[in-house]
Each structure stands twice: as structure tokens, then as C-alpha cells.
């Protein structure tokens, strides 16, 4: 399957330059997908495992007839937790990416975010941009506080790897308590309950066994290929 690509240079309000890319099939696209990678992915042409997963997912989506929108994100220190500022600048770039391609958008609109990219999409939907999306797929996105979405989103798919464990340290005021670790079977439920909004979206949870935070093989035993499941969820065929 040949993937056609169109690359443009854009600028943040402060003048920082970055690239935006549209990947599309030879014929007219039948859907639009906004793809927001995790915090480990900053360049469109990166070489890491997460970059490769995004490339493979893009190829599959284009093969199904969709066009895929992506853009560079600021590099960040991976040894530090993501901040509200990290989420905000990503949300702003994603909003400009949608706005800059609005005249080319056709068919259903799906928003897909991995980890930090998923958090950025939630900030975007809280602001009401875009006004409507047909579905949102969030991978490895833990929702710790209520996210009140003002965009009209009928369906949100939460996807987690079965070995994506989340740890929390007790506050010092409670003394020297050991860290608490949760598995998706627990935190997926509370994440789903915290996704609320003006239009009360339906939320479904999917746990893919044998996979880690950004859906790479992890831990003992067999691991399933995440690409067929992701493609199906994004295209709305599951």
C-alpha cells in the first residue's frame, strides 16, 4: 500500500517552527484521523519503538481509505513527569492542525492519542475543539480528575496494555507508607467514570493482554498484536 504524504512547516504563536503532515491514499479519503503520539515521540521521522508503531498504524489506516494528520511535538525530559504545560502546547498544536486541514476533512473524524497525546486530546475536547468528533481512542491514558468535555463525542474508547501498571507514592503526611500499584482492571474503571461532559459520551474499556504502556510486548507469556484492534477501534468496525 503506497502512502502519499504532504508536509508543511508551521509556527507556534511564539515563532517556534514545527512540521505538520497529512498521510493519505491515492483516491479520495473516506475518513480523517488525528493521531497524537506519546511523550516519547517528538519528531515525525523518529526512530523509536513508539514511532514505528505510529507509522504502522498510519499505513493501516491509509490502507482503509483514511487520511491521517500528525505534527511534531516539543521534545521533553523523559525522566520527569509530564506537566500541564506539556499537555497544553500539544493541545494547541493539535487544534491548529485540525483547523489548517478543515477544508480537506471528509467522512468521519476520529481522534487518537497515546499517553501524553491522549491527555492533550482531553484538554482539546474540554475546550470544545473540535465541536464534534465521531470517536475518540485514548491509549494508556489514565484520567485522575474529572474531564468535562464540551465537544460532542458520542463514543470514547479507552485502551490499556494488560501490563501497564500505575504506581503512586503516599503523601509524606501519611508517614512512610509503601507505594501502591494499580493494574488496568482497577484504574480503567475510575478513568471511565471521570470522562463526563455536556453530551454524556459512552465509554468502553479494552485491555490488550501481554502489552505495556504504549502497547509494546511486555512481561511473560504471549502478547497480541495491537494493530488490528486499534485499526478496528479507530475505524469504528469493532
pLDDT digits (tens, 9 = 90+) for 185-207: 889 999 999 999 988 899 999 99
Sign of CA dihedral 131, 133, 134, 138: negative
Collapsing DSSP to helix, strand or coil, 104 comes out as helix
pLDDT digits (tens, 9 = 90+) for 96-106: 999 999 999 99
Alpha-carbon distance of 213 to 95, in angstroms, equals 25
Q: Residue 234 burial (CB < 10 Å; 0-12/13-18/19+)?
A: buried
Q: Where are the domains of the chain?
A: 4-235
Tens digit of each residue's pLDDT, the chain (238 residues): 689 999 999 999 999 999 999 999 999 999 999 999 999 999 999 999 999 999 999 999 999 999 999 999 998 877 777 888 899 999 999 999 999 999 999 999 999 999 999 999 999 999 999 999 999 999 999 999 999 999 999 999 999 999 998 876 555 554 555 567 889 988 999 999 999 998 889 999 999 999 999 999 988 878 889 999 999 999 998 7
Cell digits of residue 101: 486541514
Burial 118-145 (b: 16+ CB within 10 A, else e): bbbbbbbbeeebbeebbbbbbbbbbbee
Which of 155, 161, 156, 94 lies closest to 121, judged by CA? 94
E-strand stretches of 50-189: 66-71, 108-114, 135-139, 147-149, 155-161, 166-168, 180-182
The DSSP symbol for 143 reads -
The DSSP symbol for 76 reads -
CATH number of 4-235: 3.40.50.1820
Amino acid at each position: 500500500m503506497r502512502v502519499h504524504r504532504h508536509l508543511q512547516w508551521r509556527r507556534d504563536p511564539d515563532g517556534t517552527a514545527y512540521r505538520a503532515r497529512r498521510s493519505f491514499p491515492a483516491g479520495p479519503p473516506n475518513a480523517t484521523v488525528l493521531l497524537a503520539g506519546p511523550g516519547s515521540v517528538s519528531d515525525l521521522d523518529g526512530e523509536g519503538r513508539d514511532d514505528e508503531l505510529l507509522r504502522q498504524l498510519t499505513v493501516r489506516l491509509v490502507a482503509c481509505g483514511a487520511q491521517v494528520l500528525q505534527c511534531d511535538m516539543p521534545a521533553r525530559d523523559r525522566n520527569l513527569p509530564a506537566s500541564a504545560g506539556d499537555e497544553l502546547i500539544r493541545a494547541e498544536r493539535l487544534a491548529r492542525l485540525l483547523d489548517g486541514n478543515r477544508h480537506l476533512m471528509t467522512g468521519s473524524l476520529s481522534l487518537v492519542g497515546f499517553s501524553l497525546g491522549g491527555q492533550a486530546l482531553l484538554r482539546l475536547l474540554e475546550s470544545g475543539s473540535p465541536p464534534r468528533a465521531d470517536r475518540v481512542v485514548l491509549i494508556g491514558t489514565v484520567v485522575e480528575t474529572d474531564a468535562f468535555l464540551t465537544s460532542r463525542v458520542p463514543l470514547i474508547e479507552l485502551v490499556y496494555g494488560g501490563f501497564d501498571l500505575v504506581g503512586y507514592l503516599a503523601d509524606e503526611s501519611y508517614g512512610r507508607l509503601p507505594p501502591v500499584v494499580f493494574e488496568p482492571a482497577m484504574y480503567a474503571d475510575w478513568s471511565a467514570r471521570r470522562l463526563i461532559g455536556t453530551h454524556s459520551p459512552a465509554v468502553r474499556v479494552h485491555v490488550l493482554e501481554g502489552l505495556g504502556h504504549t502497547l509494546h510486548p511486555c512481561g511473560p507469556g504471549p502478547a497480541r498484536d495491537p494493530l488490528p484492534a486499534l485499526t478496528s477501534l479507530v475505524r469504528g468496525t469493532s
